[in-house]
Amino acid sequence: MRERALGLVACVSLCGCGATAAHVQEPSAREASASQTSDTADRADAPPVTSGKAFAASEPRGSAALGDGTYRILLDRREREGEERRVESRGREVAESTFFEGGRRVQQGVEVTAVRFEGRCLTRRVNAVGHTSALSCQVETLEDEAAGRELVPSGTKLVLERDRKRSAAKVTLDGRPASNEVRAAVDLVLGLSESTDSDDAVFGSDAPRRVGEKWSIDGGKLAQRLEQQLAATVARPPTGEVELVGATEVAAIPALHLRARVGVTELTSKDGTSRFTTTVERKLPLDLAERVLWQSNVGEFQVKRPVPERPSVTLELKLMRTMEQTSLPIE
């Protein structure tokens, strides 16, 4: 059940930012405004006013700023093999499991995971949609902030090969397989799940937008993605909207700040009926050839179901997770 919760988190998050692995026990088994003139594109050099997936297919160059106060919305920024970036990431997860019997709470457990990562990461492989599927990092810091202890020594070479199936992802430290604890930490701050889906297809906009404008997500496409990847039924299409929050800068790099809020109210699977809400934020360079600079995910997943080994007992799982990451190019 918990793995399905993490899969839902990854499906809804932009850029496939993956999940973590705190441990939840059942009775007999573990379940697992910068100004509008800055970086303005020359209208003569710009393609027809279009954005989103169709625009991304042309491998666009230039600026997202069109010079008239509107901006192209392009989420699918192709990453480049051989590019090195400095990454700072923090992740936190709170897993709360509560058992009920006869409508009365009989047991409750809470587990908190908090991880901090800093390092230099090299993109080793990019998949068909332009997302990094393999990377290697020179670790400066990988620590369990909740316990105040180092998980990996500074200077360790960490290699991550993502996979659509989280459990199949590979993590090595100086060539040796990482422990489950380190895998869980890496999952929280870098993500084990490989994203092969288009963000523009669900969250993008085919029309340029002004600061403050909002538009609806494509709930039907997101529902299809959830059903295919999680073997679940979405009773009602997810709802949500995306907002162009503003023009900003990250480390003196002109950028667009976007925020998406999504709600999945009824997802039915063998694990029961669940619901999920998330807020995802991105700061993307105005330069359309460059990738995301900063991202933040805040999500909450809830599911309630009978415990197979004890039919009179019901388990309610709440999974709350946050991640904030800055990824800057190294000259």
Tokens of 292: 């995301």
Residue 321, SS3 per DSSP: strand
Tens-binned pLDDT, residue by residue, of the chain (331 aa): 555 555 555 555 554 433 333 333 333 333 333 333 333 333 233 333 344 444 444 556 799 999 999 999 999 998 999 999 999 999 999 999 999 988 888 888 999 999 999 999 999 999 988 899 999 999 999 999 989 999 999 999 999 999 988 899 999 999 999 999 999 999 999 999 998 888 999 999 999 999 999 999 999 998 888 887 777 788 888 999 999 999 999 999 999 999 999 998 777 777 677 888 999 999 999 999 999 999 999 999 888 888 888 888 888 889 999 999 999 999 7
Residue 246 Ramachandran class (φ > 0 left, ψ -120 to 50 alpha, else beta): left
> Does residue 188 fall inside a structural domain?
no
* Residue 160 maps to a domain: no
Residue 80 · residue 135 · CB < 8 Å: no
Q: Which pLDDT does position 103 carry in this prediction?
A: 80
- Cα(160)–Cα(119) distance, integer angstroms: 13
Decide if 58 is inside a domain: yes
Residue found by looking up tokens 């303005």 in the block:
40
Q: What number of helices (H) and strands (E) belong to the chain?
A: 5, 18
pTM of the shown model: 0.81
Q: Which domain range does residue 240 map to? A: 2-79+90-114+198-329
Domain contains 275: yes
Q: Would 163 be classed as within a structural domain?
A: no
Q: Say what the pLDDT of residue 3 is.
A: 55
Beta pairing partners, 193: 163
Q: Is 186 domain-assigned? A: no
Residue 129 lies inside a defined structural domain of this protein? no
Any domain includes 100: yes
Strands (E), the chain: 24-25, 30-31, 70-71, 84-101, 104-126, 132-144, 149-152, 157-161, 170-173, 176-177, 209-210, 214-216, 233-234, 239-250, 253-269, 272-285, 294-307, 310-329
CB distance 183 to 47 below 8 Å: no
Contacting residues for 224 by C-beta, under 8 A, at least 6 apart = none
| Helix pair angle (2-12, 219-230), 10° resolution | 150
Q: How far apart are CA 91 and CA 193, in angstroms?
A: 15
* Cα–Cα distance for residue pair 173/177, rounded to 1 Å: 6
Q: How many separate domains does the chain show?
A: 1
